[in-house]
Amino acid sequence: MSDVKKVVLAYSGGLDTSVIVKWLQETYDCEVVTFTADIGQGEEVEPAREKAKALGVKEIYIEDLREEFVRDYVYPMFRANTIYEGEYLLGTSIARPLIAKRLIEIANETGADAISHGATGKGNDQVRFELGAYALKPGVKVIAPWREWDLTSRETLMNYCEQHDIPVDFSKSKKKSPYSMDANLLHISYEGGILEDPWAEAEEDMWRWSVSPEAAPDQPTYIDLTFEKGDIVAIDDEALKPHEVLAKLNKLGGDNGIGRLDIVENRYVGMKSRGCYETPGGTIMLRAHRAIESLTLDREAAHLKDELMPKYAEVIYNGYWWSPERRMLQAAIDETQTNVCGVVRMKLYKGNAIVAGRKSEQSLFDESIATFEDDAGAYDQKDAEGFIKLNALRLRIAAGKGRSAS
């Protein structure tokens, strides 16, 4: 007899998690609570309710978390200009801590003994979900079916559905994509299929959110982005909530062929994985944020941020959002954003997000000093001689001792 009486499952309504509902009921003889989050994946989440009911689920949670997702997770991450391994904007990684948090909260609300997820034993998501869960509820039991069952392919999953009368009409009415996809308001990812060959170019009809740069309009699109404390609060003077900002930038970026990425990344579990990503809004946000920081942020603070960023990115990628080191780094990053305010003009053109202008009342750019024209004594160029000699002192001493610089 299992000691698990009730389990909360992160439920998408798709094939895998529908099978997991029945498998949990049979294997653990337990009640299943389903949790479906709308974080901007672009598909209706309400049909998951009827699918869960058909599987005998009594407690069904379906929640619109788009605003919380962007406000409390995406925006804080972008204040750090976060990218993993020089390219990846962490679209999947940043969604997991929110889902883990709600799984634990729902478990507490419903008196559940365990949580469950549909992440495989080869991927990063199992780590992210479970690290978050243990950080928020140390004694929680986690059930990861892909690490326990013997259903190892889509064919075996479909056979299981037929044997257990699991309704998966969507598998017959729609052509199955050859790719494993994950989407939210920040990005959509593609893995599997021909992408398992790093030499194979991604097929054009794979991309869902963006046109190819070649097919993008011949005329550029200009937009003005208003920042307050490092966050975009308006587009072309229209005040918007964080999730509305990202949704609009996704549309504008996608229409102009912006945000496609094809990378081989190092997973935390040890393997290399090739994936393709579309992050049109995030690509624009990153360029614009760096532009407003270049105007408003002190040099040493900016450089220190750039040094901290790879560690911060690694923390998020590996699933440690709820860790003390992430909170420590976040506090330092947020402190730098007090004066990161102003407007950035972006030019969107054929796959490029180009900074066309920036302005701020908090600008540290002093034209009277930086000018190539007569600066009326604002900067005494003679001062540079002593500055250079002092900074060269150790080099001159070493050279004087015959130490080679080559």
Q: Does residue 23 sit in the same domain as residue 98?
A: yes
Whether 56 contacts 86, CB under 8 Å: no
Q: Is residue 235 part of a domain?
A: yes
CATH number for 42? 3.40.50.620
Amino acid at the residue 330 = Q
The pLDDT, as a whole number, for residue 370 is 84
Q: Is 294 noted as a catalytic residue in this protein?
A: no
Give the up-direction half-sphere exposure of residue 361: CA atoms within 13 A in the CB hemisphere: 5
Q: Is residue 348 part of a domain?
A: yes
Q: SS3 of 205, please? A: helix
Ordered DSSP codes for 53-66: HHTT---EEEEE-H
Q: Is 180 noted as a catalytic residue in this protein?
A: yes
Determine the structural domain holding residue 172 and report its residue range.
Answer: 6-176
The pLDDT, as a whole number, for residue 330 is 98
The pLDDT, as a whole number, for residue 2 is 74
Enter the pTM of the model.
0.94
Q: Does residue 206 sit in the same domain as residue 240?
A: yes
Give me the residues paired with residue 224 across strands: 345
Q: SS3 of 314, please? A: helix
The pLDDT, as a whole number, for residue 125 is 95
Contact partners, residue 124, CB within 8 Å, separation at least 6: 92, 93, 267, 268, 269, 317, 318, 319
Q: CA-based angle 208:210:216, to the nearest 5?
A: 145
Q: Does residue 89 sit in the same domain as residue 25?
A: yes
Distance CA 327, CA 53 (A): 39
Distance CA 126, CA 318 (A): 10
Given 176, 192, 209, the domain boundary residue is: 176
Q: How far apart are the first and last CA of the chain?
A: 73
Q: 10-residue block means of pLDDT along the chain (406 residues)? A: 89 91 95 97 90 94 98 98 97 97 98 96 95 97 95 86 78 63 96 95 96 98 98 98 98 98 95 96 98 98 98 98 98 98 98 98 91 84 94 94 83
Backbone angles phi and psi of 177, in degrees to 5: -70, 140
Q: SS3 of 182, please? A: strand
The pLDDT, as a whole number, for residue 169 is 59
Q: Does residue 194 sit in the same domain as residue 285?
A: yes
Given 126, 149, 176, the domain boundary residue is: 176
Q: Is 96 noted as a catalytic residue in this protein?
A: yes
Which of 49, 71, 72, 180 is the catalytic position? 180
Q: Does residue 33 sit in the same domain as residue 77?
A: yes
Which of 18, 38, 66, 125 is the catalytic position? 125
Given 176, 204, 228, the domain boundary residue is: 176
* Tokens 């094939």, located at residue: 15
Q: Does residue 218 sit in the same domain as residue 123?
A: no
Q: Does residue 122 sit in the same domain as residue 169?
A: yes
Q: Is residue 80 part of a domain?
A: yes
Distance CA 248, CA 193 (A): 30
The pLDDT, as a whole number, for residue 379 is 86
Which of 96, 260, 274, 358 is the catalytic position? 96
Whether 345 contacts 356, CB under 8 Å: yes
Q: Is 16 noted as a catalytic residue in this protein?
A: yes
Whether 79 contacts 333, CB under 8 Å: yes
Q: Does residue 130 sit in the same domain as residue 35?
A: yes
